[in-house]
Amino acid sequence: MHHFRAYYVLVSSFFCLMLISCCTMKPKRINNVPQTTYHSFVKIHTEVFAKKCSNKICERIQINAYAGSGAAVLIMKEGTLILTADHICNKLNKTEKLKDFTISFHMKILDYRGNSYNDLSLVKNDPKNDICLILVKDEFLSITPVSQQAPHPGERVYNLAAPLGIFKKGMVPTFEGFYSGDYSDDISLYTIPTQGGSSGSPIFNDRFQIIGLVHSKFGGIENIALSVSFHTLYEFLQNYQNRQSLEKKQLKKIKLLF
């Protein structure tokens, strides 16, 4: 009986210590998003106009507008490269004929400081994997590095985006979620809220290096984002850098971290 009592006291003391330890244990601190990451984010705003001319009189009206997101990843002599989704940038500086109308697309980039940029050009794109690089004829204060390592399933990730065009000077919606794995060879799945305007938005690891790029979502569920896979994105950027390495004199600095 005495042995049982001693065993009971010992076990009870152990569980009490465990309870106290769990209650006083400090939760793991989530890293704050660096200001440099915010300063590298951009909203991409596109306005669509229709122009019709009759008897030498032309009328031009705005018929649509849509938003996308992106991130500055490289500073060159000519300006700054913005990484985004191809379906956001593929209409840049284009016009289309539609019966009696001429459809034109006018794109501008807005940064975290409230600056607006209109002098843009498409540098490289991959329609199949929905990746694009846009050149802004100006130099940004900050750029975001691209990770050298692929994410692991279950890894916590972060996302800056302008869903539904929600974005203001000094304010960008900030989300977190998890990397769930690859949906296919070229597509990865993340548990991040998405809406129109999230396309092209960067996905970061806990070191705030880019590991993905939102380009679409599943219909009927908003908390699953589809991204180009890390390996496909890495290869796209590396191929561009390899091409540029032949012209090193034109480069000002690179922070792609390859």
CA count, 13 A, side-chain hemisphere, 22: 6
Domain carrying residue 181: 156-232
Q: Provide the pLDDT for residue 257.
A: 40
Q: Given this model, what pLDDT does residue 21 score? A: 40
Same domain, 107 and 169: no
Mean pLDDT by 10 residues, the chain (258 residues): 44 40 43 89 93 82 89 86 94 83 90 94 95 92 91 97 95 96 96 94 96 93 93 93 62 43
Residue 41 CB-density burial (10 A; 0-12 exposed, 13-18 middle, 19+ buried): buried
Q: What is the pTM of this model?
A: 0.81
- Answer whether residue 46 is part of any domain: yes
Q: Which of 144, 171, 200 is the last residue of a domain?
A: 144
The pLDDT, as a whole number, for residue 25 is 41
Same domain, 124 and 58: yes
Tell me how many degrees the CA angle 102-106-109 measures, rounded to the nearest 5: 170
Query: Is the same domain home to 124 and 205?
Result: no
What's the pLDDT at 78? 85
User: For residue 221, what is the enclosing H or E element?
Assistant: none
Distance (Å, whole) CA 24 – CA 43: 42
Same-domain status, 100 and 128: yes
Q: Residue 105 domain-assigned?
A: yes
Is 211 part of any domain? yes
Cβ burial, residue 51 (10 Å; 0-12/13-18/19+): middle
Residues 90, 165, single domain; the answer is: no
